[in-house]
Amino acid sequence: MDERLNVNPTRMMLTSLKRRLTTARRGHKLMKDKRDELMKNFLELARENGRLRGEVEAELAVMYKGFEKASAIMSREVMEESLMFPKQGVVLDVGTRNIMSVNVPVFNFTTTANDPADIFPYGFARTSGELDTAISAASDLFPKLLDLAAREKETQLIAAELEKTRRRVNALEYVMIPRYENTIRYIQMKLDENERGNQTRLMKVKDMVLQEAHHYEQ
């Protein structure tokens, strides 16, 4: 059985429901457009994330391999002493940008040292070239890691908004709009029945008046 709203079948209610139905259909169209655009953005983000994650994982492997080689060549004490006091630092700035009513993070950073290339916290006499390679790889990788973190968070937020929008579209399409349509049909049917009933009563009254007038003339 089709669901409908529990309302009084009056002409005023009929007019009100027709306005609500028009608004619901307009909202449904806007929500569908938003859902489609969010899906497009989500798919593009997913592809970009896959590409960027592949690059990051490949560079991480190079960095870890460099540290492993350095650990094999250098003593543990020298390795720890060389990395004990980092020479370069960063200041992270977290902002946002709006995509389809979703605020997604934007990460920017600045280095604390005057020279961004000044990244080696040790002298080169006691360390190996493999450690230099690993440190350089870590420095080069940092911006990509921030970019990947921002994009993955953006993907997560877009996915949540997409799911919320999809539920709204379904609620309008399969619940609210059919409910309004069924209620409008019900009220229109009741009003038509009342109109036919009124016409029938008027015809009976007219027949009674005519009959009484006829007998009076006789």
Its pTM stands at 0.74
- pLDDT for 116 equals 67
The whole-angstrom separation of Cα 184 and Cα 182 is 5
Q: What is the pLDDT of residue 215?
A: 61
State pLDDT tens for residues 13-72.
999 999 999 999 999 999 999 999 999 999 999 999 999 999 999 999 988 988 888 888
User: CA–CA separation, 46 vs 158, rounded Å?
Assistant: 11
Q: Domains in the chain, ordered, with CATH? A: 28-158 (1.10.287.3240)
Contact in structure between 104 and 153 (CB atoms under 8 Å): yes
Low pLDDT (below 50) residues in the chain: 1, 218
